[in-house]
Amino acid sequence: MTEAPAGIRRGRAPALAMNLLARLAVLGLVALTTFALPRLLPGDPLQAMLASDHAQSLSLAELAALRERLGLTAGWGRQLGDWLGDLLRGDLGHSIRHARPVAALVAESLPWTLLLILGAMPVYLLLGALAGIRAGRAQGGALDRGLTGLVTVLASIPPFVLAILLMLGFAILWPVLPAGGALPLFPSDQPLVRAGQVARHAALPVAALALHEFARFYYLARAEAIGLSRRPFVLNAEARGLAPLRMLADYYGRNILPAFVARMSDSISGLFGAALIVEIVFSYPGIGGLIYGAILDRDYPLLQGATIIVAAGVLALNWLIDAVLAVLAERG
Amino acid sequence: MRVGPPLLGLLAVSLAARPLLPAWRSSREVLAPPGTAHPLGTNAIGQDIALGLLHATPNTLLVGLAAAALATGVALAAAGLAATAPPTLRAAILRLVDALQVLPAMLVLLFVAAFAQPGLAGLIPLLGLTSWHEDVRLALALIRREAGRENVHFARSMGASWSHCLRRHVLPAIRPALAALYVQNIRQVTLRGAGLAFLGLTDPRLPSWGSMMQEAMDHLYTPAWSWLLLPPALALTLFLLVLLALAEAAPDKDAAA
Amino acid sequence: MSGLFRIALLTLAALLSAPVLAQEDRPLIITDSRADRGMLAPYLHTRNGIAYLYMTYVFDSLVSQDRQGRPAPGLAASWTISADGLTADLQMDGRASWHDGRPVTARDAAFTFAYMARHPYPFVTLKNVAGAEALSDRHLRITLKSRDAGLVSGLLTALPILPEHVYAAEDAPERFTAPEAATGSGPYRLASYDKAQGRYMLEAVPDHYAGAPKFTRLMIVTMAPDAAIRALRGGEVDVISDLPVERAAGVEAQGLHVVRARSGHVTKIAFNHQGMFGARTLRQALAQALDRLAILDITAPNGAGALAETGYFQQGSPWREDRTDPVWPHDPAIAATLFEAQGFARNGTGRWQRDGAPVTLRLISDESQARVAQVVADQLEGFGFGVELRLMERTALQAVPPGGDYDLLIASVSTTGDPGDIASRVTGDAWSADRYAGDGRIAAALEAARQAATPEKRLAHLRAFQRLYAEELPSLMLIDPVMASAHGGRIALEFMPDGARIGIPTAIDKSAFLPE
């Protein structure tokens, strides 16, 4: 799993360019899929719009006018062409349910999701590495057995159960942290206080996400550490009595890095899935909930726009990580 | 690799026991705490939790075993094809795998599940077909290693076809590794299936541990969460831990390598 | 160690938690458990009743409602309707003005009719309006295509009037999201709207023609019920608009005020009239095979709902005749006899068969009615039918056509508001309609009610409809859920008997914020 994608080692630049092209092709595929899938499914935005109990029975002429306004009368080809054209001009379209530009909606919710992911990432990467290395260096010891057992149980609990348990523990039974949302009822105007409020609200979702990813990197770090601790240069350094911190950073950390980066590249898309569940449990206003709502409301423009942004983001990150990986591989 | 028999045994027992169980009916005893009549309490429409756990067991097991088998099988087929195909086709397969890897699988699951509300028959292919790509590179590496061995070269030089070689020489050699992969897939698929059920995206008439846990979400502020959430969560966690224990007990040095 | 940790955390929490504003300069804060209802303008709010209600805080209609829900002067101070019922003359209230200071005239009203004909608005249909013209600044004349007994309490109450000087140049109102889009003539102006947090701040219009609103500022915030209860107890918020009924007793026990009312938004079983349940006898048989009381007890225990009336109108509706509708009590023996008379037979194991084949009923619904659907399925299975229950995703359920792949459909339907729209709810094709034709008597009664010349005649026809409905069972009404609101005493709240404006079950209609 940790091997670099084929071809990346010879001539870095052309390979990376090829990679980029392939990813653009994938993006095109995603665009087509998000365009076609919702239209293949039963129901359309007009139906979702008129679903309310209080909606009046409109006349056929009124219905036709609404359909026209929603841009649903044109054939698929026209609709797709219009959308792609707009997309190339940087226009993501206009949400039907929210009556706002898709770009604005995405810009409002994406930062919250990124906050969760970027907040969780250092936590699980660092903790995973530290705990994994310590356990791996003392393989079979009491610490290793205890830690590994604990992590194994942790990895066997569904992520949403972990999230609920965290919420129960720290927001309901012992209410020290907010149970949901991203900001308090009256957000402060002072940036510093406001940052504190945001942090308080993000604490539990971030913890849930970090716990979910922690096991994966713990196992990886442990396995790598076990291998490393038998290598001569490490044994040598150990015998020389190197400072523990240097040992950790220069000998283990440095050598585990490529494996970590490669694994990150694999796990990015999964991370968005986990973030979605966490957002739902903590009613956090992120992009997962936005997309989920768009599916239910058949809000084609929002669904298409938000999905393509997420996919582009994941692809770009993934490409970036592969590039880093290639550099690391070349450095040896 | 003795993972299969105990799992299949468990599945068979739970399936065989199901007709003997009383039907899982609603009753006026709504949200009753655990007691003598209902050892694990009842849910919001008065169904017995303990009985629900038993009814849900075969469904959860069946989905896990079958979807994981499907994922492993497809991954193996794709890897076998990639190993024996000309370079262009191989590159195409690997690119496809990369692409699927990058696509948030959750998004695809959301899409399909939101509309189809899959039951048993739908859930298995849905989960299987959204998980296989994660194993292709590993399976390909295994196949290539085995295919590079002398016995295969010898067989090829004697005019044996690739499919013959794969079947007779490669497959038996990588079986232990595949078994480990299979167990890992069961865990993956079970967790994902529970996630879908938690989002309310599976057939509600199909009792599963995941959908039982979903009910707890409405009752987090009342004591009912404890008997709604904990029993199915413990059952699921226990099942996954047992799987791990089984896999570790199995002597498969190949997989560790 | 853990004690120290706890103290540190608590200190941190105290430092970081928001300060509670002083009582006097604090707005009246209302919580809503669902996020974001969209911008409060007719084409921008989300398509549901509560969002419409919030919009009416900002936009007034020609006809308003008093606190009991009766028609009251709105932007039109008075109105007369011609003898043939085809012409309505309205005198506009000269004191009314838009939030930007310009006066509201009959021209704005006429413009709104024309504009909404071009840009349909789902909560109003203008299909019966021939035209609307401003004969002067104060005099509006509306002409209809046919007589409509519900003109005043229906259309004129529902239609929000738009400012011509703001909307005339807008050809795509659903994309007109500038703050001016919320320029209305209602008692409150929209001061700020935070979409991500689902939060509205409204400021009173002190010189509003109906009198100065009681609260200078109104704030609507999104809050989950449990957080809202805690906040109400702590005095941080004033009103919980949608309190889950099952929590009401607990909230009352904490010394807070709770108001409750039957919602009139009934959970019903709709039949596929193009299938076996096209036969009235079978609908009546099914009604008696089911134990509606048990369904109520299981899915809405402890007063969370009431047994629904079978004659369409629910308790509390001013349109309902106070008589006992047939209740179709649970009686498996009678039900079995009725099924047998229609050629059904039970086999050895008690399963119903028709023409030698076991009968399986296809029951569809969506997640929101999952509990009721499961209990109904259980009861039908207990009675001897095979049941294939499908809980579909909301919009997919709405896409199931009349006569589609189902026998029974469980849905929630509004029975409140002006009866002008009942015909479409009973005979229409929409997913939540009964999709019923029958022998035409029900449609005839409703049409007669629509064309009735006097309110008394209208009521008489509606009563005939009520009796027919309970006999014919276009749908079987199951449960009338109870709704609740809680408040801390800063405001007196009461649910409107037949729902607010377009029949929205709520205790926070804008009349609650206006002087009597």
Q: H helices within C428-454, ranges in order? A: 441-450
Which amino acid, residue C33? Answer: S
- Quote the Cα angle for C499-C506-C228, to 5°: 170
What structural domains and CATH numbers belong to chain B?
42-256 (1.10.3720.10)
- Residue owning tokens 């707005």: C27
Nearest to C269 by CA among C473, C458, C49, C24: C473
Architecture of domain C1-58+186-256+488-516: 3-Layer(aba) Sandwich (3.40)
Contact partners, residue C214, CB within 8 Å, separation at least 6:
C491, C513, C514, C515
Spatial distance between the Cα atoms of C218 and C187, rounded to a whole number of angstroms: 11
Residue A186, pLDDT above cutoff 80: no
Contacts with B, C 280-309, CB within 8 Å: 294, 297-299, 301
Spatial distance between the Cα atoms of C444 and C228, rounded to a whole number of angstroms: 48
User: How high is the pLDDT of residue A9?
Assistant: 46
Q: H helices within chain A, ranges in order? A: 12-40, 45-49, 60-69, 76-88, 102-137, 142-155, 159-167, 191-228, 232-240, 244-246, 254-281, 287-296, 300-331
Contact B184, B240 (CB under 8 A): no
pLDDT digits (tens, 9 = 90+) for B180-209: 888 888 988 898 888 888 877 777 777 888
pLDDT digits (tens, 9 = 90+) for B37-71: 899 999 999 999 999 999 999 888 899 999 999 99
Query: C19 pLDDT band (50/70/90 cuts)?
Result: very low
Report domain extents, chain C.
1-58+186-256+488-516, 60-173, 265-482
Best of C374, C380, C410 to disrupt the B interface (most B CBs within 10 Å) is: C374
Q: Pull the structure tokens for residue C410.
A: 């469980």
Length of chain B: 257
Collapsing DSSP states into helix, strand and coil, what is residue C30?
A: strand
**A54 at C interface, C-beta within 8 A:** yes
Q: In what order do the strands lie in the sheet with C139-144?
A: C76-81, C87-92, C139-144, C129-134
Q: How far is CA C461 from CA C46, C290, C425, C448, C473, in A?
A: 35, 30, 17, 6, 18
What percent of chain B shows pLDDT beyond 90?
18
Instruction: Give the predicted TM-score (pTM) of the model.
Output: 0.86
pLDDT digits (tens, 9 = 90+) for C49-90: 999 999 999 999 999 999 999 999 999 999 999 999 999 999
Fold of C60-173: Dipeptide-binding Protein; domain 1 (3.90.76)
**C120 at B interface, C-beta within 8 A:** no
Q: Give C-chain residues touching A105 at CB under 8 angstroms.
A: 195
Collapsing DSSP states into helix, strand and coil, what is residue B124?
A: helix
Spatial distance between the Cα atoms of C417 and C499, rounded to a whole number of angstroms: 6
Collapsing DSSP states into helix, strand and coil, what is residue B17?
A: helix
Spatial distance between the Cα atoms of B174 and B76, rounded to a whole number of angstroms: 11
- Quote the Cα angle for A192-A198-A200, to 5°: 105
Contacts with C, A 259-288, CB within 8 Å: 283, 285
Residues of B with CB under 8 A from a CB of C: 23, 25-28, 30, 44-46, 114-115, 117, 200, 203-205, 220-221
Nearest to C479 by CA among C310, C230, C254: C310
pLDDT digits (tens, 9 = 90+) for A210-267: 998 898 899 999 988 888 888 888 888 878 877 878 888 778 888 888 888 878 877 7
Burial of residue C366 (CB within 10 Å: 0-12, 13-18, 19+) is buried
Residue A19, pLDDT above cutoff 80: no
ipTM value of the model?
0.82
Rounded mean pLDDT of A77-93?
87
pLDDT digits (tens, 9 = 90+) for C348-401: 889 999 998 999 999 999 888 999 999 999 999 999 999 998 888 788 888 899
Strands C28-32 and C217-222 turn out to be: parallel
Best of C298, C392, C410 to disrupt the B interface (most B CBs within 10 Å) is: C298
Q: How many CB atoms lie within 10 A of CB A228?
A: 18
Spatial distance between the Cα atoms of A275 and A277, rounded to a whole number of angstroms: 5
Spatial distance between the Cα atoms of C59 and C70, rounded to a whole number of angstroms: 19
Spatial distance between the Cα atoms of A176 and B251, rounded to a whole number of angstroms: 47
Contact partners, residue B227, CB within 8 Å, separation at least 6:
B33, B34, B40, B41, B49
Architecture of domain C265-482: Roll (3.10)
Spatial distance between the Cα atoms of C179 and C474, rounded to a whole number of angstroms: 46
Rounded mean pLDDT of B203-226?
84
Q: Pull the structure tokens for residue C188.
A: 């409150």
Query: B93 pLDDT band (50/70/90 cuts)?
Result: confident
- Quote the Cα angle for C369-C370-C375, to 5°: 105
Which amino acid, residue B139? Answer: A
Measured between CB atoms, which of B27, B45, B204 is closest to C391?
B204
Measured between CB atoms, which of A155, A160, A310 is closest to B198?
A160
Instruction: Give the largest Cα separation in chain B, rounded.
Output: 74
Rounded mean pLDDT of C416-427?
92
User: How high is the pLDDT of residue C382?
Assistant: 93
Q: Pull the structure tokens for residue C182.
A: 């919320």
- Between A and C, how many residue pairs show a Cβ–Cβ distance under 8 A? 159
What is the DSSP code (8-state) at residue C360?
E
Nearest to B23 by CA among C378, C337, A179: C378
Determine phi and psi for A147, rounding to 5 degrees: -65, -45
Nearest to C387 by CA among C269, C218, C226, C509: C269
Contact C23, C156 (CB under 8 A): no
